[in-house]
Structure 1
């Protein structure tokens, strides 16, 4: 993607990322943890944490998940065991699907 083109995101995506950032900030502050302390725990700059908390969709997904893990914010399941079970279930379902996905062929009716 050229540098001059700006990536656009769906409204749902923007709202979800903003919610995640707000939850991180809320939990961090409720634990009386400074932004610098949290950034140090994550191994990032404070400015990156601020971007995460503002809901910047360009912050790494793994970083956002790690912040939630540190603060105890559940994303999919309350426990690691529940998450592992869901991951196994999704893997089994994925194994049932074909390895290669082909676009559907549209049948054109040219009978007039």
Structure 2
């Protein structure tokens, strides 16, 4: 039997925060749970889990619900996602392709 997955407090709080943002956006738009659930392509019970911040819901479904409800992911307008992604790609190009822990201990006490 596997042990249940545990999450850090920060992860749990972020999921609850995003869930509440989705719920607020949905209600502000006067959108019933059933309508948003249908647009996301999930059961109403799954949408309720998303809005409660349940970590077992697939991240893609959570982001889709947020997008359809009108939540700005990462505090960004949708139009700036591509530019942000390109900036991160540029930074990643400057870093090594793989990262390993060095087996050597550096002696830097002079």
Do 1:68 and 1:74's aligned partners in 2 also have CA atoms closer than 8 Å? Answer: yes
Structure 1 segments unaligned to the other structure (5+ residues): none
SS in 2 for 1:57: coil
Do 1:39 and 1:46's aligned partners in 2 also have CA atoms closer than 8 Å? Answer: yes
Name 2:88's counterpart in structure 1: 90
Task: Return the alpha-carbon distance in structure 1 between the equivalents of residues 79 and 50 of structure 2.
Answer: 27
Q: Deviations over 1:34-75 (max 9, x none)?
A: 111110010101111010011101111111111111122111
Worse overlay, 27-36 or 48-57: 27-36
Matching residue within 1, 9, 14 for 2:12: 14
Aligned length: 107
Do 1:18 and 1:54's aligned partners in 2 also have CA atoms closer than 8 Å? Answer: yes
Do 2:36 and 2:69's aligned partners in 1 also have CA atoms closer than 8 Å? Answer: no
Name 2:61's counterpart in structure 1: 63
Moved over 6 A (4+): none
Q: TM-score, normalised by structure 2?
A: 0.88
Distance 1:26 1:77, change over 3 A: closer
Do 2:23 and 2:51's aligned partners in 1 also have CA atoms closer than 8 Å? Answer: yes
CA RMSD of aligned residues (A): 1.6
Q: TM-score, normalised by structure 1?
A: 0.87
Structure 2 segments unaligned to the other structure (5+ residues): none
